[in-house]
Amino acid sequence: MNRLKVTEKIIQTKIKKNIKWSSVAETVGLSKEYVTAACLGQMTLFEEQASLIAAIFDLTEEEAKWLTIPPNRGSLPTAIPSDPTIYRLYELINVYGTTIKELIHEEFGDGIMSAIDFSIDITKKTHPNGDRVNIQLNGKFLPYKKY
């Protein structure tokens, strides 16, 4: 057994039982973004949270334990993603990467937006010409330390 097998079992059960990530999140009491990432093998859960997930997806006790262990992160099978939904995000970084860098430096100074002390929030904005996806990235600014 390994984390990948647990992830695959969760996905299979989700499809077989028509489970929604939002209702999983509600049960566990965390955001839907964090819970989905944890179920897909990218984040960790506390033991009680893992037990709730286990109940939803019929996991064994041992399988649930894997959900509490820091995983080997990285969900892309290739360096440049081939799936169009994910690729568009890569394209945005490719096109806007230097712009984001310039503006973070102009407003905050030399440093980065943390990807660890970080949260993500995906919402739907309905619109007559077509709904819009809104993805909010929120991370702590970390200045380079001079020493």
Catalytic residues: 88, 91, 114
What's the min distance (Å) between Cβ of 104 and a copy of itself?
A: 6
Q: How far is the CB of 58 from a copy of itself (least distance, A)?
A: 14
If one counts every other C-beta atom within 10 angstroms of the C-beta of residue 106, the result is 8
Q: Which of residues 55 and 92 has its CB atom nearest to a copy of itself in the complex?
A: 92
Give how far Cα 53 sits from Cα of 15, 75, 86, 122, Å: 15, 20, 25, 21
Closest CB 24 distance from a copy of itself, rounded Å: 11
**Residues between 26 and 55 that touch a copy of itself (CB under 8 A):** 30-34, 36-37, 40, 42-44
The pattern of x and - marking residues 59 through 98 that bind a copy of itself according to CB under 8 A reads ---x--xx--xx-xxxxx-xxxxxxxxxxxxxxxxxxxxx
What is the torsional sign of CA 103, 106, 107, 110? positive
120 part of the interface to a copy of itself, by CB under 8 A: yes
Longest dimension (CA), the chain: 56
Task: Judge whether 26 and 56 are in contact, CB under 8 Å.
Answer: no
